[in-house]
Structure 1
Amino acid sequence: MVTYPFTAVVGADDLSSALRLTPVWPPAAQAARVTAQWRAHLLTVLRRLGLRRLSSTAPSVLVEVGTGVREALRGKGRAARRGDTYPGLGPHWLRLAVRDPHTTDVLLRELTAVLVDQQERSA
């Protein structure tokens, strides 16, 4: 897990300056490695689900899931962006943000439940 520590300003003349917090960001290379690991985790689970994905290096993944899936996920309180805003993609595509594995797993459990439910309804 990547954390972003904060540092207090030392030697300040007044209390407000002394209490000011300044973020200390991780080096870009470290952040890129972590994001790549998180992306790999997301893609692995999507692959196991047999879902079509478009390759990219963006901080999100476009995935074909079927019509109505985004709305069902939103109804469960999950964030899934429309994919039809990309040229050539329709309402059966989602844009999923690359997030930490725990957040990804929660979303993908909900996605799996929605897909199973849709499959059972169509059978």
Structure 2
Amino acid sequence: MQNIEIEKWLISLDLKIFLESVREAYRIVKDVSSNQEEIVEKLKEMGLRYNHLVFKISEDQIRDLKLLYDDTQMIEKGILEFLREFEDNLVGLYPGEMEFFLTYRAKTNPNLKEKK
């Protein structure tokens, strides 16, 4: 089930929009003529696009997992596992984009802890 679900998200418009925002942010960061305000704005947009993608995926997964589990902890665990698998796929398919994004995320969310 998850492979089909992951494939669905790998071809989604939400993912395409996120990847476009990553590429644009990368271009702006590397452009020496860009000003700091423009860079910050593009990086924020990239983060917001990712958050939107994760929100949409989570909504979709909640609907599916509610059919399988009554326990909210199991639903949360299922969503986190799905997101980890999805992100692993993204790293494999889009290594440059994801390296840039994950570096940004690590710098802006130093206290971000993965739930297991």
TM-score category of the 2 structures, normalised to the smaller one: 0.3 to 0.5
TM-score scaled to structure 2, two decimals? 0.32
Greater strand proportion? 1
Larger radius of gyration: 1
Greater helix proportion? 2
Report 1 or 2 for greater relative contact order, CA contacts < 8 Å, sequence distance ≥ 6.
Answer: 2
